[in-house]
Every structure is written in C-alpha cells, then in structure tokens.
C-alpha cells in the first residue's frame, strides 16, 4: 500500500506568500510619495489617472511655508494669483480639483500645528474656488497626523482631473 502525500502545506505557503507581499506593498505605500502612488494605481486600473483623450492629470505641489505669511493661513498675493489662475483653468476645462495636504509646520501663536495645516489647505481650496470652480468640483484631502511626528513642513498639492468636456473628442 502506498502512503498518500498531503498537499495541505501548499495552502499555508500561499497564505504566507500573500501576507509577505501585502507587507511590502504597505511598506512601499508609506515611504513613497502618496500622490504618485495613487495616480499610478488609478492609471493601472483604468481610472482617471489619464483622460480619455490621453491627456494626463495635472499635479502641482507647493511648500506651504513659501505660500503663506509666517505662522498664518493668509496667502501671499503672488500665491493667491497663481491659485486663482489654476482655478480659472480648471473652470474653463471643467476639471475636478483635489487639494491634498501632507505634513505640517510648527504651531503658531494662534493655531496649533494641525489647525494651521487644515486652515492653509482650506485657504488654497478657497483661492482656487475664486477662479470660478464650483464647490462640487473641489475635494480636500488631509491625511491623519500623529502628534509624535516632528513638524517637517507642510506640502500642498493640487491635482486637476480632466472634466467631461476635456475627455470628449
């Protein structure tokens, strides 16, 4: 009589391999630029990373410390004009706009670090809105921040996704 060889180890091996793969994906997601990662994932799954006519989304990044008055959420005039121009362009093309914040600056006399980051992100969205973009076409993204993380500066990115008018041939 022949002894049967059990193949149950294959299931455990496959489970271990998938867990290891998931670990490395999560590790990469935490260290990479989140905007580039989400854009590449969106493009890989046929999302709106690329418009239907081949036009790519527009991504612009800004250092918050250079755009705002020190310790405040008050835009400098040149930054306000640039953001209004972005809003006018998005309104003209019917683009959807996502304003995303990463990191934080130190606290000011009036605001703690989180409040300052949130107020600055909102100020950017409002300046873009004054360019003519409807409120429904603007999305704000502020990921969670840990109090234990040091304040290394805030970066605000503005992404424009082509609107329906831009995707039609």
Sheet containing strand 58-63, strands side by side: 58-63, 153-161, 96-104, 138-141
Q: Which domain covers residue 56, as residue numbers?
A: 52-167
Q: Does residue 97 sit within a domain? A: yes
Question: Which domain CATH number covers 115?
Answer: 3.30.1330.60
Q: Does residue 25 sit within a domain? A: no
Residue with tokens 């290891």: 20
Q: Please write the tens of the pLDDT for every residue from 129-146.
A: 998 988 888 988 887 777
How many domains would you assign to the chain?
1
The answer to whether 64 and 120 have CB atoms below 8 angstroms apart is yes
Q: Does residue 8 sit within a domain? A: no
Q: Does residue 5 sit within a domain? A: no
pTM above 0.75, yes or no: no
Rounded Cα distance between 12 and 26, Å, is 21
Indicate the pairing of strand 96-104 with strand 153-161. Answer: antiparallel
Q: Does residue 59 sit within a domain? A: yes
> Where is pLDDT greater, at 36 or 90?
90
Q: Please write the tens of the pLDDT for every residue from 67-110.
A: 888 888 889 999 999 999 999 988 888 888 988 888 877 766 67
How far from chain centre, in Å, is Cα 70?
A: 24
* Structure tokens that stand for 85 in this block: 């121009």
Q: Does residue 116 sit within a domain? A: yes
């Amino acid at each position: 009589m022949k002894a049967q060889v059990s193949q149950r180890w294959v299931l455990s091996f496959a489970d271990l391999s998938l867990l290891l793969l998931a670990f490395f994906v999560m590790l990469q997601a935490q260290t990479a630029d989140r905007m580039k990662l989400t854009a590449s994932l969106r493009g890989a799954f046929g999302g709106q990373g690329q418009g239907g006519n081949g036009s790519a989304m527009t991504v612009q990044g800004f250092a918050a410390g250079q755009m705002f008055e020190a310790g405040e959420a008050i835009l400098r005039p040149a930054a306000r004009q640039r953001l209004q121009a972005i809003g006018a362009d998005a309104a003209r093309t019917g683009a959807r706009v996502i304003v995303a914040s990463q990191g934080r600056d130190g606290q000011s006399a009036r605001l703690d670090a989180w409040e300052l980051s949130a107020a600055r992100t909102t100020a950017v969205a409002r300046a873009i809105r004054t360019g003519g973009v409807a409120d429904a076409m603007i999305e704000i993204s502020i990921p969670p921040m840990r109090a234990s993380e040091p304040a290394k500066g805030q970066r605000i990115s503005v992404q424009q996704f082509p609107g329906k008018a831009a995707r039609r041939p």
